[in-house]
Amino acid sequence: MYRAGALYFNAQESTIRDGDNPEPWQRLPDFNKTDSVMAAITAIAEHCERSGQKGCGDFCRRRLGDIAPPVRPGGLPVGEMAKHLSENPSRSPVMSTRKEAATSEEAMQNWVICANRIADRP
């Protein structure tokens, strides 16, 4: 089992204590929907930043590039990739090189990696 179990337990405990309305960063996303996973990772990043954990927030935001849909299905040719990266220096190069959408397994792995950043901190 992934170590994200600690996050799940904390989220479940909070839900029991606070009713049926967990915070956005505590919600388990639908791993078959990239938008849902991206929203969950963004919520975790925002929670980290509000908690004064800028490194955690930055780390989670970098995970978004690993699951974002490709800039163009099939990937970009080398010339277009160089232009795209120079015009968008803050974007992840993974988005430019990705040929197809992330699988639900890849999305889940990136969410777990990000979620563990919260689970590892008080």
Q: Which two tokens stand for residue 51?
A: 């908690």
Token pair 């780390």 is at which residue? 59
The per-residue pLDDT for 17 is 52
Q: Which two tokens stand for residue 67?
A: 């699951």
The per-residue pLDDT for 2 is 40
Give every CB contact of residue 7 below 8 A, 6+ residues apart in sequence: 26, 115, 116, 118, 119
- For residue range 41-87, what is the model confidence (pLDDT) as tens digits? 999 999 999 989 999 999 999 899 889 888 788 888 888 888 888 88
The per-residue pLDDT for 74 is 82
